[in-house]
Structures are given as C-alpha cells and as structure tokens.
Structure 1
C-alpha cells in the first residue's frame, strides 16, 4: 500500500473503527471526520488528525481533502435517524465528500456499498447507495467500490430474537449467506487500496443458512432451538403493507431486511473470524445484565 494520506469518513462506526485501527497500525497519516470526537479511541496517536464535521453539511467540509491521496467513505445509514433520509446521507453526504475530493485533486475514492446493491435499486437504501456509485464511476477519480455481505453487527438481530426464546424466519430458512466481521472487511479494503476502478464483492469464511445462524444464536445463549417458519406470502404482504401505510423511515430497513433475507447472498470467502465466536462474545454481554 503506497498511500500515506487517507481521509476516513465514518470513523466511529462499526467498520470505520476497524479501518482506523489498521490504517494507524500501518503508519498511514489519517484524517478522521467525526461528528463526536469523544467517540474516538485513538486521540493521542501521532498518525491521526481528528476533524469535526457533518458530512451532510458541505460548508463544514470545506478544503478537508487538501493534501489527501485517498478518501475512504463508510458513510451510510441502516436505520434512519435525526430526520435524515437515505438520499440525505448515502447519496448527498457522499456527494459532498466527492466534490471536495475532486476539488483537492484526490487520486482515489473508496466507497462501501453492499452485496447485490446494483440488483436491488428499487429498495430505498440501495437506490441512494447506487446513485452515488454511478456518480463516483463517472467522476474521473480512481475508484474502488466494496460490496460486503452482511456485517456480523447486523447478525445481532438474530441474537436479539433468540433472547426472547423464538426466532421467526420467512420461508424455509435455507437461504444462505456468508456474513463478515468488520475487522476482516477492513483488511480487505486496505489490501485493495492500490487497485483502481474495481468493484469487490466479499464475505466471511462460513456459508450459513438462516436456520444455521438461528441455531448458532440459540446455542450461544444456551437456549433450546425454537424457530417458526412463516409463509413467504406473508413476507410479501408485509413489504406491501409497510410501503403503503408507513413512512420510508419506518419501512426502509425492514424492506431491506425482508428482501435480502429471502434469497441466497453468497460472496467470495475471506477472513478467519467466525459468527459462532462472535455470538458467544456477544451472548456474554447479554448475560452480564
């Protein structure tokens, strides 16, 4: 990796925190954009400069890319908050960063989208992400688009359901995916920083069905396996009802979850961290309370 000056947007998030750790370990000069500097763990590091800014407010980003070789953006929202929409954050905020990157002559822009996002543009979350992907590809900058499978942090939803004693799945539960740990994904991203104009789809080392994931969650909590399989027509009716009767803020993340979890999402295998171990660590936190 030749890059030494990296701007990292979204440094306090699940993936961003791992990216920041590895970039610093590799002695890169990093400027981290954060809303709340108190959330960062590496304040005293020689290789880190913290800049407080709101990516949704372009005036706070003025000249932030000066002297930067590479921008890495993990900016995006799964569950909308602060009255902001997917278009406000996943598209417009990243466009604000891209505008500054172009102005400053940044060489390379790395953006984190999601697996099969280009095939699901009808979903609100992907509509915004892929609109930015299109803009990045036509920007003239070198780009890398990372399309990870589900994060381990997203898989905590199954653990949460298991704590109540029962997990509900739509269909057979045989739909397969290979979720990835944030640290493994961060390593992939940093290893591809010298690649340009590339899209990388990546997942974790274990291909698991939704039934498998549910069983791992129950096992971590030492609870009996209780899985209820709901008919697929109910999933489709749920999506229709949510789109019809609720706001995008409510239905966006559920629409995403219900659609993506209804099909196989298998990406190239990578990493050495396993969901089983992640669940055991997380279960201990549940049991501490």
Structure 2
C-alpha cells in the first residue's frame, strides 16, 4: 500500500527504481501484473515471492543495488502472518541486500512498536534490531503514526447519519495521521539526507493530535450530520478477547488469530500513536514530529465530497464498509 506511493515518489525524483512485487497486489490481490506495470511507469517491475531467498536474489536483485526501501507488512497482523512477513520476509530482503552490496536500507516500521504486546509489533522490533546490528549497512527506520486510510473507516457511516463508534469516551487515545504522499516523501528523503542515517524516525502528519471523539466531531461538522456517538465499553472487548483465547486453547486454527485481532483492536482503542516516554510512562504529542502539508481535515473534506477511491480498507474495513 505505502510502497506504491514510495515507488511513484522515487520515480518522480529521478532514481533508477526496481520495484519488486507480488503478481497479485493491492487490496485483496485485485491488481495484476499489467496494473502494476502501469502504476509504476518509469520503474523496472519484477515479480516474485519475498518469502523465497532465491526469488529475491535472482529476480528482484539481479544486479548491484545501492539502496533498498522495504514497505513490507502483514495484511492482517495474525500471528503466523506477522512473523512470516514483518520479520522473515523482510529479513530475507535485508540479507540479500547485504549480499548484493547495498549501502543503505530504509525500513517502514510503525510507531506502535514502542509498547510491544502484539505479535506483529514483536516481529517488527526483532527485524529493527537485526537491521541495526548488521554493521555492514546503514539504515533509516521510519515509524509513522496512523495513516489517513486507517482513520477513514467510518466516513461513509457518518455520511449516512449513522453513529460514530468509539471506545469509552473516545478520548482514550490520540494520533497524528499522515497522508500517503507525505509519508512517501519522508521515506524518500531518507535516501539522501544524512541526518536520517542510522536513526529511528517517528513521524506524524502536520497539526495537532486527534482523539477518536475529535475525529468524530470533525466528521459531523464536515458532513452536517448531528453529533451521534456509539460508545463501546473497553471491558466488552476484554470479554470477547478472553472468550476467544479460551476457545483458542482447544481450537487454535480457528480462534488464535481471531483473539489476536481482538487484541489489535483494543490496542488501537486505548494506546495513542504518539512518541512514548518510557520514564514518565506517557505519550507525548509535542515530541511526535510533524511532517508534510496534507491535513486530516482536508482529507476528510475531500473524502466526504468525492468518496474514498484509492483508500480501500480491505481487511481493515469497519463493518464491511469501503472494503
């Protein structure tokens, strides 16, 4: 998803880009080879499997490369998928990059790894540690806050006059969402700007941090709909997770990932996507860097008027809306 925007930005900047992709990409694999080649006009497109060292070695990186930008991420955050993609597949890319003489590796990670309780967070952190310890390659680890796409799930519901679903009072957590194009610009900057070398780089969009309630109020104002909240007790989520964990002991194939998805949902409901101070045990809005020009309000306004084409949520869709 973000890799598409990064690739297009690197092409725009004049880099000699090799884009390595699955043969079926995009939300739910809807894009085929021809679509990908069209999207990445100006780049050399190659297709293969990031879980295969041979595919990366012999297809993706056929020649010497200078810099690798990895935007790999598991689709759902399930346990096996997280370790297969967020860790092992990304590690495969790193290992072959070092073999082929790459001098710099830009890794798209996530700001939520600061307080790791979920499998995908642990997988990302292990990869971050491997990259930092490699020694023969420099790195930039980019940890963005929420994407615009990840806070867009209820726009259509609010437009229809339905309530905005939030946990508790809607002020348990906040984030500084960043647009795809702004994040792609920042990631691309990591290739040429020396102050981003061998750094972990948290990054958010411009402006203040918004709680769920503040996002809801913004949507009500933009759509002209009356305020209408549907608060969900966090304890309800705890009960559901506990039940799924119980069944997972007996039927792991059916319930293990479902329990993990519940934990992911709760995490985003109660933990802010901001820089975490481990000493004071608080999230710090002012310490979370702002970058770019695209504001959340402008995004919401455009999405309300024009829809969410290109922002399909896939497995992250709320109640099946905008899949």
TM-score (norm 1): 0.84
Contact 1:133–1:145 under 8 Å retained in 2: yes
Provide the rounded CA distance (Å) in 2 between the counterparts of 1:271 and 1:245: 45
- Relative to 1, partners in 2 of residues 1:43 and 1:152: Cα closer, same or farther, differing over 3 Å? closer
- 1:137 matches 2:132: yes
Aligned-pair distance for 1:200? 0.2
The equivalent of 1:72 in structure 2 is 69
1:165-244 equivalences under 5 Å are 165-174=162-171, 175-193=173-191, 194=193, 195-206=196-207, 207-244=209-246
Q: Which runs of 5+ in 2 are unaligned?
A: 24-32, 249-254, 275-287, 310-321
Provide the rounded CA distance (Å) in 1 between the counterparts of 2:64 and 2:182: 28
Contact 1:73–1:112 under 8 Å retained in 2: yes
Q: Which runs of 5+ in 1 are unaligned?
A: 1-12
Contact 2:131–2:139 under 8 Å retained in 1: yes
1:105-124 equivalences under 5 Å are 105-120=101-116, 122-124=117-119
Aligned-pair distance for 1:115? 0.7
- 1:264 matches 2:272: yes
Q: SS of the residue aligned with 2:149?
A: coil
Q: SS of the residue aligned with 1:67?
A: coil
Contact 1:78–1:125 under 8 Å retained in 2: no
Aligned-pair distance for 1:159? 2.0
Provide the rounded CA distance (Å) in 2 between the counterparts of 1:184 and 1:159: 21
The equivalent of 2:15 in structure 1 is 28
- Bigger helix fraction: 2
Give the aligned CA root-mean-square deviation in angstroms: 2.5
- Relative to 1, partners in 2 of residues 1:222 and 1:53: Cα closer, same or farther, differing over 3 Å? farther
